[in-house]
Homo-oligomer: A and B are copies of this chain.
Amino acid sequence: MMMMTLTTPVTQNNLTVLALHPTHATLLDQTALPATVQYVEIHTPQAMAEAIQTMIVRGAPAIGIAGAFGIVLSARIALKATDSTEAFHQHILADAQLLRKSRPTAVNLMWAVDRMLAYLATLLIAETPLAEIVEKLATEALAIHEEDLQANYAMGRFGAELLPENARIHTHCNAGALATAGHGTALGVVREAFAQGKCSMVYADETRPRLQGGKLTTWELVQAGIPVTLVCDGMSGHMMQKGMVDAVIVGADRIASNGDAANKIGTYNLALAAKAHGVPFYVAAPSSTFDFSLASGQEIPIEEREADEVLGLDGNRYAPEGVRVYNPGFDVTPAHCIAGIITEKGVIFPPFLENLKTLLG
């Protein structure tokens, strides 16, 4: 991986989270924000898998796009390595396995990789020349990127309709431009509501242990000129008790058929606080986040991450020796806590099982 540090600050208008170039992909390095704006050049699917694993790129829709870009990089390398269609296919399938395994919880990654593989299979069946296949895979990956951006604009419009005037919106982790092709899912709704004059404050949970809320959501909203207040993850119950919050909007990494939604660890505690105080809790996620193979959220695999993330902050350990750590990366908010799921096709209300099928077919 190569690092490129920008000399000019990135503003909202020219923020690019992921880009595909003729020889490589670039990722905005989210582990360096908000202190440093730098891009990482990714030349191989192996480097892409590592970037996903180490959270240089993170956010369910963004890692889906990153996975698709990884398949393109794989195809380009395979084209140079072999003339055999079979070897070309096997090369890409092996890299696809690596990419799929880089993070287990967000299904968008598997969805995007599988979409690329399915398209590859149709091109191979049609006996498309390998060089042309590589071009077409790049076009498909860029289509996934563009569709995600358009889905976010649509979610923004649908979601904003749900909000009252002067809404004070609580969110967790980062489901913003940085987690997607741009605009964001939960923060896409915030952006649209703010543009309509309907959002007066965003409360951002800092989101321990990786602080995506404190580092990324705050940075992104400050850039956009949207008022944002940073709070610790344990404050939401108190704030709702004090009547400070009108709605919660979060993203999702995987949604089961019954509406149970996996998202960054801490989301479920926020949902419980919202439920206890009658504050509507919305999930904003593109349809690529749904996993209809799962009956309920209990089946969603939950990634466990390194102890170091909890023992300290940014590599500075604060906890004493001799302590154990439990560090699940995600939790599952049961459908009964969710007032509505905002998708690019519209808002799905309970009962989710029936209404999901109607809207998403």
Residues of A within 8 A of B (CB): 34-35, 172, 203-209, 211, 214-215, 218-219, 222, 227-239, 241, 265-273, 275-276, 302, 310-311, 313-314, 316, 318-328, 331-332
Residues of B contacting A236 in the complex (Cβ-Cβ under 8 angstroms): 269
Nearest-neighbour CB distance to chain B for A304, whole angstroms, equals 11
Residues of B contacting A321 in the complex (Cβ-Cβ under 8 angstroms): 222
Contact (A231, B269) CB under 8 Å given A237-B331, A316-B316, A318-B211: no
A172 and B325 CA atoms in complex are apart in Å by 15
Residues of B contacting A237 in the complex (Cβ-Cβ under 8 angstroms): 268-269, 271-272, 331
A230 and B323 contacting across the interface, CB-CB below 8 Å? yes
Contact (A313, B310) CB under 8 Å given A222-B323, A229-B326, A326-B229: no
Nearest-neighbour CB distance to chain B for A204, whole angstroms, equals 8
Residues of B contacting A209 in the complex (Cβ-Cβ under 8 angstroms): 232
A206 and B326 contacting across the interface, CB-CB below 8 Å? no
B323 and A234 contacting across the interface, CB-CB below 8 Å? no
A234 and B234 contacting across the interface, CB-CB below 8 Å? yes
Contact (A231, B310) CB under 8 Å given A239-B326, A328-B238: yes
Which A-B residue pairs are the 5 nearest by beta carbons?
A234-B266, A238-B331, A34-B320, A222-B322, A237-B268
A206 and B206 contacting across the interface, CB-CB below 8 Å? no
Nearest-neighbour CB distance to chain B for A8, whole angstroms, equals 17
Most chain B CB inside 10 Å of its own CB: which residue of A204, A219, A302, A322 = A322
B215 and A319 contacting across the interface, CB-CB below 8 Å? yes
